[in-house]
Amino acid sequence: MHVILVEDDESLGQAIEQALTRWSHAVTWLRDGRLAAAAMRDEIADLVLLDLGIPGKDGLDVLAEVRRAHVKTPVLIITARDALEERIRGLDAGADDYLVKPFHLDELGARIRSLTRRMHGLADNRIQAGELWLDLGTNEAEFRGHRIPLARRELALLRLLMERAGRIVRRDVLETALYGLEGGVESNALEVKIHALRRKLSPELIRTVRGVGYMIVREPQ
């Protein structure tokens, strides 16, 4: 999953970025409200973690702006503003959840998993495609009854495809979700990850749609 982190506190931002990476998410870390609004309008992310007291443009103004532009990306507010009125304002402005600082990173992870379940209509943390299972809580994959060890980006790629099982996922969407907006990514990096997944799982599980992207089938033959 690709997460936009909007946070101007360096130490907290670094801790959250490291945790998100450890949880197999790609992260774009922004420190300015105007940049955040532009990135959110482009809808390049699956989730936004939004601080309110940020330079350039207040977080609530950013949120109200993008919701007026019909941006539907889930937003989790992370802020020190703990008054009830502030929480109500944040939720009424279009936030999907509201987490008050200081918070434990494990709670942040749980909130993200909860939003993910809500986004995809899941009853628990496990998603399935045929004989393939993925636990979003433990980041463990199981295929035909056997646990499959996966590297971080392999796991992130598998999650992206499984969350959209039966649908084509465009190449650019996958690359942004895996690598964020970082430069210098090899042109064949995505193909390498796809090849690794096919080798560990099944060659028929992930289909290539030439010129478009990839899809994972719900019930592979």
Pick the CATH number of 2-120 from 1.10.357.10, 3.40.190.10, 3.40.50.2300, 3.40.50.300: 3.40.50.2300
Beta strands at 75-79 and 47-50: parallel, antiparallel or unpaired:
parallel
pLDDT digit string (tens) for 140-155? 899 988 999 988 889 8
Q: Compute the residue count for the chain.
A: 221
When pLDDT is averaged across residues 20-33 and rounded to a whole number, the result is 89
When pLDDT is averaged across residues 61-85 and rounded to a whole number, the result is 94
pLDDT digit string (tens) for 4-22? 999 999 999 999 999 998 8
Task: Name the residue type at position 36.
Answer: A
When pLDDT is averaged across residues 162-179 and rounded to a whole number, the result is 85
Give the model's pLDDT for residue 189.
87
Q: Is the pLDDT of residue 220 over 70?
A: no
In whole angstroms, give the CA distance from residue 153 to residue 95. 28
How many helices and strands, by DSSP H and E, does the chain display?
8, 12
For 211, other C-beta atoms within 10 Å of its C-beta total 6
Domain ranges of the chain: 2-120, 126-216
Q: What is the CATH number of domain 126-216?
A: 1.10.10.10
In whole angstroms, give the CA distance from residue 100 to residue 82. 6
Give the model's pLDDT for residue 101.
95
In whole angstroms, give the CA distance from residue 218 to residue 3. 26
Phi, psi (rounded to 5 degrees) for 86: -70, -40
Strand, helix or coil at 158?
Answer: helix
Phi, psi (rounded to 5 degrees) for 26: -85, 145
What are 100's two structure tokens? Answer: 């008050």
Q: How confident is the model at residue 181 (pLDDT cuts 50, 70, 90)?
A: low
* Helix%, strand%, coil% for the chain, nearest 5: 40, 20, 40
Its pTM surpasses 0.85 = no
Q: How confident is the model at residue 93 (pLDDT cuts 50, 70, 90)?
A: very high
Give the model's pLDDT for residue 36.
94
CA distances from 143 to 10, 65, 128, 140, 201 (A): 40, 43, 10, 10, 7
Asked whether the domain spanning 126-216 has the same topology as the one spanning 2-120, the reply is no
Least confident of 67-81, 110-124, 146-160, 186-200: 110-124
**How many Å separate Cα 182 from the centre of its chain?**
16
Phi, psi (rounded to 5 degrees) for 107: -70, -40
> 186: Cβ–Cβ under 8 A, 6 or more apart, which residues?
192
Please name the residue that has the structure tokens 């796809």.
194
The C-alpha angle with vertex 176 and arms to 26 and 179, in degrees rounded to 5, equals 45
